Chains A and B, each alone.
Chain A
Amino acid sequence: MTYVHLAGIESGYGFFAPNVPGTCKLVFELHYPDGRTETRVPAVSSHASGLRVATLLDKIGRPQYDSLREVIIKMLASAVWREHSDAKMIRAVFGVVTLPTAEEFEHGVRESSEFLYSYDFAFQPDEPKQANP
């Protein structure tokens, strides 16, 4: 087991196979004490880092990440809250983007989002207080 990790051969080679999965998307709704609401997505500084965040979202959309999904989304929500620490609650909405086929695209069909999960995280000024999935 250790050897395959050291050699980098622990994962399969079926990149985008047999099918290309839908893109997972995570949007945070930030709720402020004065009633304002803003939306944010997980943000990084470069395209290369963006690929990694997209990979993370695709991973946590898989069934084998069911038990970890909430924990990871809570971490991501905490990262957003650190940038917007006056928000009292963050709602994380996780979904999958369904892409049209080429024929559908020609007929005006565009991507659509399918809701999968929603989590509410309440925050206090200093640290995350409570998670309410």
Chain B
Amino acid sequence: MRRSEFWKQRLIGFLFPPESDNWLALLRFGLGLQVVLYCLSIRKDWTYLLAGNGGLISRNLSERIFALESPLIPRLGWIVTLGGHFGLSEESILSIVWYCLVTAGCFLFLGLFSRAAAIATWFLHLAVLKSADLLSYGMDNLTTIGLFYLMLSPLPDRCSLDWQWRKSRPKHRDLLGFWRRVLQTQMCLIYFFGGLAKCLGPGWWNGINLWRALTRPPFDLISADILVRFKHFLPITGVAVWLLEIGYPFLIWHPRLRRPWLIAILLMHAGVGIAMGMYLFASVMIVLNLAAFGPGILWHRTQAPDDGSSFSGSMVPSPKN
């Protein structure tokens, strides 16, 4: 009985640690910027990629597939239909959606009407993602994951304009630690299964996959003539990649190794972004990592100015805190 009570307390201590809101400020700031950059990156092709008719491929195809899976998954077709009742053309509505998403991203970045901005950003981004599912890739899903947890977390944080200017305060600051744990667990799952999948194939042991990833259009930013000079490093780097990923859920908690491990993961993503041109993929992974593990590992967490009761100041993200 005592043992079960002990483990219950450990579990509660792990899931609901006292926490500052530094991580939440990072997540809000980073995802706001991410969404704005995402919108700007495909601004010229926005209507072309998302049109129901007259675009690259019809948005209706993805929407019908998702409607079969669940009628509750957000999609642009809802907004287009709604706008149609007010006499707005599809092109006008898609432009309005773009401006709304950029505006919501900017509000999120600034921390103005944080909760509403987080919900609006998540909804619009998800609707765009699902309507253009055939054109989406991992970065989009990772942004959705971040926005989903951000929307549920106790906003606003103390760096936001809501806190500083509107004097707004979150209702459930005691859940700050819980939602950070959820994000941390999610990151551990992502890396563990990503690393596991990589090490199952021989290509990540002998360097072939790394070579192929770097020479494969449209990721072939580095000339193969230059890359081939470093061919002996490819097997080492390939093994290092999956070792970093598979070791992440274990060593990111280790007092001595978590700092170098996190820095190595951040450098890996920066390298992927620069070498393969996957800038948005790199930036969302860096934002999620910094929010999940940055405060307390890369820098000391600070206490909220008028909320001392919610934070113990502990640096160790272990079951004890």
**Interface set of A (CB-CB < 8 Å, partner B):** 1-2, 5-20, 22-23, 42, 44-56, 59-60, 68, 71-72, 75-76, 79, 82, 97, 99, 101-103, 105-106
Contact = CB atoms under 8 A, between A and B. Distances in A.
B135 A55 contact: yes
B228 A105 contact: yes
A8 B217 contact: no
A55 B215 contact: no
B207 A102 contact: yes
Interface in B206-222: 207-209, 211-213, 215-218
Contact of B72 (A2, A11, A54): A2
B56 A53 contact: yes
B235 to A, nearest CB: 10
Contacts of A105: 215, 224, 228
Interface stretch (B37-45, B107-115, B164-172): B37-45
Interface stretch (B15-23, B136-144, B255-263, B289-297): B136-144
A5 B130 contact: yes
A12 B194 CA distance: 8
Most chain-A Cβ atoms within 10 A of its Cβ — which of B134, B191, B198, B278? B134
Contacts of B215: 99, 105
B148 interface: yes
Interface stretch (B1-9, B47-55, B155-163, B304-312): B47-55
Interface string B274-311: 00011010000000000000000000000000000000
Contact of A56 (B44, B130, B134, B211): B134
Given A48-B280, A53-B135, A5 B211 contact: no
Contacts of B277: 47, 51
Given A19-B209, A23-B217, A46-B45, A82 B193 contact: no
Given A15-B138, A52-B136, A5 B66 contact: yes
B80 to A, nearest CB: 18
Nearest to B57: A75
B201 A51 contact: no
A42 B56 CA distance: 8
Contacts of A106: 228, 231
Contacts of A10: 141
A60 B186 CA distance: 29
